[in-house]
Structure 1
Amino acid sequence: MERNIDKKGKFFIAAIIGLSAIFTPIVSSSASAKENLETYNWTREDVSNLTINAQNTAPEIKKDELVEMTSESYIWDSWPLQEKNGHPAVVNGFKIIFALSVPNDVLPGKRHDTAEIHYFFSKDGKSWESGGPVFKDGDALGSRQWAGSSIVHKDGKLQIFYTATGDKNETQLSYDQRVATATADITTTNTSVTFENWSDHEIILEPDGEYYQTNEQTGPEESSYAFRDPYFFQDPKTGEEYLLFEANSAGKLEDRSYNDEYIGSVKFRQNHENPESSKAFNGSIGIAKASNQGLSKFNILPPLLEANYVNDELERPSVIVKGNNYYLFAKTHSEKFATGLHAPEGLYGFTSDSLFGGYQPLNESGLVIANPTDNPYQAYSWMVMPNGTVTSFVNYVNVDGKDIYEIGEQSPDYQMEHFGGMLAPSLKLSLTRNESKIVHEKKQGVFK
């Protein structure tokens, strides 16, 4: 998600170190809960098994045939209002979706600097009406908001979890990231949806420095810092409630130790060159367990997955359950893989018969959906719904072989012309044990 490309083509990750004080953890830990948790290592060997084929390549997106949800704004990372079981919610006949948004005169590569969450509603799930910003001006925490998730409680209240980025009223952009939440009543008429009677916004998760890297622990050699993208998950097997989130493995680069398990099997390691620069890649998928009914207190737990020496940005993680299998997903950019690994912009997934531990990469490598090789940036921010529908947004299309850095060197007109900033056609995904395949393309913006 966090790409910022300035007008000179310089590429900045919107998770670069900010000048901020160390985070003070506000989440409690449970030693007994951690004893049986096993963190899966996504290895360089796994990624080296990757093949791009018809079963994992998305159809080409034809931007000119798509419809903008709003003519005034770009939208990108999106998610539906969900029931606690993960299925899209319907409130008095309305479906509701949320998305990051900026006015469409903002240079696409700079959109994360001013992002706020907007919402849209529809009765047919096809034609969407804009409700505008979710939060009243000044209510949200941080200087801007990044992605999250939203659920509806049994009493009809909305609860939204989001990334509060930067500091309110800051004069220079900073990149502190915390997970925040707030609740509101959902009010509907025959033609509209509004949110009223908001609670106070509160920070509910911050990196602890033990499992998850703090901003202060991040050094200049590391291109990314992340503690963001909360995703609510209720385990259907236990009823227990969690937040997943994107993070980085804790500790400073100079203190980070090498582990053979990061690379792969003995046979693979014998013939694989592991560049020293790979040490700076430390993406992870974190998890915290709710400890109160109001979902405002969480016990932070060890990561479900780490990608040390492999990848440093595993964005918008989520999990669904099908049969006895848990399917864990995350998205990442091609340039976020460590030196020596070659993998596409795409959706990656892992499966286990337990929420904690035992994960294996889908399709032997983890690759689930890749953009076409001749349109490598056409979509991003894929989200898998419980029925296998996969949503995303239109990113950069028809860029004539330019890589993401070269796109940033083009004129503002070029960047705006080739950026989508709208919902993409959804895809249908088939999941069978440890394999996945794209079944077919669905209509634009279908969440169910």
Structure 2
Amino acid sequence: MSERNPDSRRSTEGWSPPQWTRSQADGIERTPETVAPVIEPPPEDPAADLHIWDTWLLRDRHGEIAEIDGWRVLFSLTAPEELLPGKRHDVAEIRFFYSRNGTEWHGGDRVFEADALGQRQWAGSALYDDGELYLYYTAAGDESADDLNYTQRIAVGHGGRFEADEDGVWSEGPWRHETILEPDGEWYENEDQSRGMIYTFRDPWFFEDPETGETNLLFEANTPVPVDSDRCDGDEAQTEFNGSVGVAASPSGDPLDWELEPPLLDGVCVNQELERPHVVPRDGRYYLFFSSHMHTFSPGLHGFDGLYGFVADSLRGEYEPLNGSGLVVTNPASVPFQAYSWMAFPYRDEILVQSFYNYREFAGDSLDGIADLSEAEQRRRFGGTLSPTLRLDVDGDRTRIHGTLAHWHIPTSEEELPDTDEYRPPDEVGSDDGYVDRVDARMDRHRTVGYLRSNY
């Protein structure tokens, strides 16, 4: 366990976080550098009996992919394959898979057999530290309530361990579960304060700063904005879109000891959800990434389901949007919901981006339209597995998709990837006709507090 220098912590008195501004987000557009290829179903699916979505890798304190006796491990939110895909969030469980070569994956067992917090568990991160395993997750729903609800708090499972032999990896308990963070109502909105379409306090992601040694936990949150606030030029509807990237710090470096600090990035007036935030250090700079949806952009802005990114010279620096607007990866206009929940990680001189295969052969204006299909069609169109891994070129504040790997391909450090400049984006990189008008109409329908159907 490392201990950070107490003098390295930036004073937060009188400090406000960098903002993702409306003028920056107004520049969002599909370009050849940001549009991923159309995804085809994989020839084989190592988890065909499960729906799989948000996924993360087991890493060490330095952000490197960890191994347990030569096995690398990834974690996914899962639900039974026979469940209607749109209902999967209500029963989500964390399962794990393991591989020696980064292409052939096995497993699919639950990490926790019992006693995890919440009515179900949503996304997080996993730390393997000197043989100790810490699985950070979102405890979604109050387990003491009779009805399904959307209370969220950040939790950790620890005390259990992974064992391995030549045949595979398995989880052994007992696991101890505890809540480590809840919103304070000052920097981070609590559920009672929420006026937006979706309430968020979730997606913990462990990060130890390579420059300062500071131990951090990033998460998705919302910034409290009073109804009479002068933010967003007094536009009350825009203030309901108040996503932020939150952060907590561990003064001692203890993975169980956390103190809330002000957000790293503020998306008030721009977007409601800055999901699964994470940082990739590269060339002395800090690349902050998160995912967001088309429908969570503020009135008057028109974004896409995509991976968005910012860069700064320090973790608590002045973040500037990548590619001018923040958009790094999005889906083709013909299949705007084919992938989601992107996770970037370093690989040699490039950055790789993993996501899950969402809905194919669907070009509606909103995922609400999925619910209008027959149950058989909903199941057929849902990928429910890992997408092809994208290869990302990064040069300062510019990025470019320059190639792809197969579904479920997470290369090992010894693997040589081919030199390629042959990637060509889909032909339809621009917005389709009538898109802006349809999005505006859809947003008008969605201005209610709650968990939307569009979280399919």
TM-score interval, smaller chain: 0.7 to 0.9
**1: CA distance between counterparts of 2:292 and 2:135?**
24
Paired AA for residue 104 in structure 2: S
Match of 2:28 in 1: 50
**1: CA distance between counterparts of 2:232 and 2:238?**
12
Q: Does 1:414 align with 2:377?
A: yes
**2: CA distance between counterparts of 1:72 and 1:228?**
27
**2: CA distance between counterparts of 1:66 and 1:255?**
55
Match of 2:314 in 1: 354
Q: Does 1:87 align with 2:64?
A: yes
1:100 alignment partner, one of 69, 74, 77:
77
**1: CA distance between counterparts of 2:82 and 2:10?**
52
Match of 1:181 in 2: 156
Match of 1:311 in 2: 271
User: What does residue range 293-442 of structure 1 map to in structure 2 within 5 Å?
Assistant: 293-387=253-347, 388-401=351-364, 403-442=366-405
Paired AA for residue 322 in structure 1: R
User: What does residue range 52-67 of structure 1 map to in structure 2 within 5 Å?
Assistant: 52-63=30-41, 65-67=42-44
Greater Cα shift, 274-283 or 391-400: 274-283
**1: CA distance between counterparts of 2:144 and 2:43?**
37
Match of 1:214 in 2: 190
CA contact (8 A) 1:347 1:368 kept: yes
**1: CA distance between counterparts of 2:191 and 2:170?**
36
Deviation at 1:117, TM superposition (A): 0.4
Q: Does 1:159 align with 2:113?
A: no
Aligned in 2, Cα 1:361/1:32: closer, same or farther, shift over 3 Å?
A: closer
Match of 1:242 in 2: 216
**1: CA distance between counterparts of 2:129 and 2:363?**
47
Match of 2:244 in 1: 284
Instruction: List runs of 5+ in structure 1 lacking aligned partners.
Output: 1-29, 261-273
Deviation at 1:37, TM superposition (A): 4.9
Q: How many residues align?
A: 400
1:291-325 Cα offsets, whole Å, 9 max, x none, are 33431111111111111111001100000110121
**1: CA distance between counterparts of 2:108 and 2:363?**
36
Match of 2:452 in 1: none
Deviation at 1:198, TM superposition (A): 3.4
Match of 1:258 in 2: 231
CA contact (8 A) 2:357 2:386 kept: yes
Match of 2:415 in 1: none
CA contact (8 A) 2:337 2:363 kept: no
Aligned in 2, Cα 1:128/1:32: closer, same or farther, shift over 3 Å?
A: closer
Match of 2:168 in 1: 192
CA contact (8 A) 2:157 2:177 kept: yes
Deviation at 1:125, TM superposition (A): 1.4
Paired AA for residue 437 in structure 1: R
Match of 2:410 in 1: 447
Deviation at 1:86, TM superposition (A): 1.4
Q: Secondary structure at the match of 2:87?
A: helix
Paired AA for residue 440 in structure 1: G
CA contact (8 A) 1:73 1:102 kept: yes
Deviation at 1:411, TM superposition (A): 1.4
Q: Give me the identity figure in percent.
A: 41
Aligned in 2, Cα 1:400/1:136: closer, same or farther, shift over 3 Å?
A: same
Deviation at 1:204, TM superposition (A): 0.4
1:147-195 Cα offsets, whole Å, 9 max, x none, are 00001102x1211100001122532011111111122222112112122
CA contact (8 A) 1:380 1:393 kept: yes
Aligned in 2, Cα 1:348/1:66: closer, same or farther, shift over 3 Å?
A: farther
Aligned in 2, Cα 1:324/1:31: closer, same or farther, shift over 3 Å?
A: closer
Instruction: List runs of 5+ in structure 2 lacking aligned partners.
Output: 1-7, 412-456
Paired AA for residue 323 in structure 2: N
1:124 alignment partner, one of 80, 86, 101:
101
User: What does residue range 6-45 of structure 1 map to in structure 2 within 5 Å?
Assistant: 33-35=11-13, 37-45=15-23
1:201 alignment partner, one of 145, 170, 177:
177
**1: CA distance between counterparts of 2:141 and 2:267?**
26
CA contact (8 A) 1:326 1:355 kept: yes
1:233 alignment partner, one of 197, 204, 207:
207
1:168 alignment partner, one of 143, 164, 174:
143
Paired AA for residue 240 in structure 1: E
Give the TM-score of the pair, scaled to structure 2: 0.84
CA contact (8 A) 1:150 1:159 kept: yes
**2: CA distance between counterparts of 1:224 and 1:255?**
20
Match of 2:49 in 1: 72
Paired AA for residue 428 in structure 1: R
Deviation at 1:66, TM superposition (A): 4.2
Q: Secondary structure at the match of 2:191?
A: coil
Aligned in 2, Cα 1:171/1:47: closer, same or farther, shift over 3 Å?
A: same
CA contact (8 A) 1:319 1:326 kept: yes
1:223-258 Cα offsets, whole Å, 9 max, x none, are 01000000000100011110000000024x424331
CA contact (8 A) 2:232 2:238 kept: no
Greater Cα shift, 390-399 or 436-445: 436-445
Q: Secondary structure at the match of 1:111?
A: helix
Q: Secondary structure at the match of 2:116?
A: coil
Greater Cα shift, 166-175 or 41-50: 166-175
**2: CA distance between counterparts of 1:56 and 1:401?**
20
**1: CA distance between counterparts of 2:281 and 2:309?**
13
**2: CA distance between counterparts of 1:153 and 1:88?**
12
Q: Secondary structure at the match of 2:384?
A: strand
Aligned in 2, Cα 1:69/1:37: closer, same or farther, shift over 3 Å?
A: farther
**2: CA distance between counterparts of 1:244 and 1:434?**
22
